[in-house]
Chain A
Amino acid sequence: MKKLGIITALLIIIVFAWFFLPMSANNASPKGSLEKLVLTGSSTVAPLASEIGKRFEALHPNVRVDVQTGGSSRGVNDARTGLANIGMASRALKVKESDLLSFTIALDGISIITHQANPVTALDRQQIIAIYTGKILNWKDVGGNDAPITVVNKSEGHSTLELFLHHFGLKNTDVKAHVVIGDNQQGIKTVAGNPNAIGYVSIGAAEYAASHDIAIKLLPLGGITASVANVLNHSFPLSRPLNLVTREAPTGTAKAFIDFARSVQVNDLIEAQYFVPVAH
């Protein structure tokens, strides 16, 4: 009986400790010289940056990497005003931002995919727009079988959706989707299971699936084959760089972090998020 009491009491303590643990972890006062590296900006880069940050912290115990989101423009602005040590932008710097320095850590590309059995081998820009806005509803209108098109779109907030809409000049409210998916794997499985579906996913994920006997096909865009290699050599149109931005040539910890983020040591983290690493 006594044992039971002790166990219960322990359990209660654990529950309480669990409640207060995250709080105390946040409020932990810096011991010694704890250096803080603040990154703000694009929500596309942020998950990757925070993964890289965790690994960086493990290597540099006296550094804390703080990642905040708020869009590429905020990243650029914060880097310029010095609010952040490093800004994050999921695009190349604009001409009027040429006073800043950018360091590409990865490339993000997306590919239009269809079922392997679909006879359509290419679609042009206008056809893709017409399909996604519901103006073309049957594959026979673009040279395919007489079958209704199943349009697969991404759910709101995903960077792939953003890049896709931006590239084709669409608004999400214009898209007439039949299926909405979350991550790349779900998109690939949905298209592989439906001979009449069309969707788009990160190029890394699509290439991997297509080379592993999954029944999908990557459509070329503007005559250029959708492949990681073509994203790397910047010829594939539906891609963008993921950049770290600084005001001046980085020094000290910021430099160490940027060098680390561009090294082969983080390639597995980059690939885990279906981006294309630049370091080899």
Chain B
Amino acid sequence: MSLSHTDQNLSLILQLCALIAAAVVLLILVFLLSESWPVLQHVSVWRFFSDDAWHPAQDLYNITPMLSATLLSTLGALLLSTPLGIASALFTRYYAPPALAAWYRRLIELLAGIPSVVYGLWGLTTLAPLVGQLHPPGVSLLTAILVLALMILPTIALTVDSALRAVPVAYHHSAAALGLSRWAIIKNIILPAAHSGITSSVMLAAGRAIGETMAVLMVAGNVVQHPHSLFASVRTLTANIALEMSYAMGDHRAALFVAGLALMLMVLLLVSSAELFKRRSLCLQIH
């Protein structure tokens, strides 16, 4: 089948667009590498993991406390918001009356649209003092987890909702015809069928949590240390870049780009593991 002239043109243009999108990602990677190159030339990569602390002015470049803070805050937020998000999606799709479901979905969409700095401000002025009453100073890993969880909850709720919608209605009808209860249908038919969609939704949310900067910067406390408790003040990689970039020069600046590179690699790892997971679960479904 040959394409029409217009289709050929369109296909060419779309290919070009795709190429540009791919090139931008590559260019960002190249840019990060070239900006961090000055420091990588005389500071070995290993030192970013083995130095005594993060004091770029004193030539110390350990980024592991910030790596662990990023990972722990993301993990904590996911643990809180994944069950809530899935529950919220199940509610809107299968339990709520249609009118309520429509309003509820709109509300969640609104929640997804709130700028992160607003969450940060709320966290700093309201949540942090509350946490501070439990255990000073209030700005802590726990506060960061709570704010992040709130931020990624709508992401999970909305994407899981569309994953559930993608499950063929016939599954639902056939199962109902067999006399299964609503919960049994959801548990045994719908959730396994929407499995890969749900997984990628969680991965998407994880990506957002890792990359979140402003809100975390305001509520996490930003002391560079491995968190020894939930109430410890921590600094994430993104917050570190945002805090120091505008004043950094020379090696310090390049070291911040190394932190950016580490972030990029983390997200890359996340995305590719999600892809691998998806492919494997797809294979399982076919066989």
Q: Are A155 and B244 interface neighbours, CB within 8 A?
A: yes
Q: Are B244 and A186 interface neighbours, CB within 8 A?
A: no
- B242: chain A residues at CB < 8 Å are 182
Q: Are B9 and A5 interface neighbours, CB within 8 A?
A: yes
Can you name the residue of chain A whose Cβ is closest to the Cβ of B120?
A: A186
Chain B CB within 8 A of A246 CB: no
Chain A CB within 8 A of B233 CB: yes
* B20 CB contact (under 8 Å) in A4, A12, A159, A173: A12
Chain B interface residue bracket vs A? 35 or more
- B13: chain A residues at CB < 8 Å are 5, 8-9, 12
Chain A CB within 8 A of B128 CB: yes
- A179: chain B residues at CB < 8 Å are 137, 139, 221-223, 233
Chain A CB within 8 A of B197 CB: no
Digitize B1-45: 1 where CB-to-A-CB distance is under 8 Å, 0 elsewhere.
000001001100110110010000000000000000000000000
Q: Are A12 and B17 interface neighbours, CB within 8 A?
A: yes
Q: Are B6 and A2 interface neighbours, CB within 8 A?
A: yes
Can you name the residue of chain A whose Cβ is closest to the Cβ of B19?
A: A12
- A1: chain B residues at CB < 8 Å are 6, 10
Q: Are A157 and B247 interface neighbours, CB within 8 A?
A: yes
Chain A CB within 8 A of B192 CB: no
- B270: chain A residues at CB < 8 Å are none
Q: Are A186 and B10 interface neighbours, CB within 8 A?
A: no
**Nearest Cβ on chain B to A54's Cβ, whole angstroms:** 17
Q: Are B125 and A193 interface neighbours, CB within 8 A?
A: yes
A144 to B6, CA, bound (A): 79
Chain A CB within 8 A of B218 CB: yes
- B217: chain A residues at CB < 8 Å are 182, 186
Q: Are B136 and A194 interface neighbours, CB within 8 A?
A: yes
* A173 CB contact (under 8 Å) in B55, B128, B218, B246: B55
- B223: chain A residues at CB < 8 Å are 177-180
Chain A CB within 8 A of B149 CB: no
Shortest 5 CB-CB contacts between residues of A and residues of B: A157-B247, A180-B222, A150-B137, A155-B243, A178-B137
In the assembled complex, 8 residue pairs joining A and B whose CB atoms fall closer than 8 Å, in A order, are: A12-B17, A148-B136, A156-B252, A172-B55, A179-B139, A189-B124, A190-B128, A194-B132
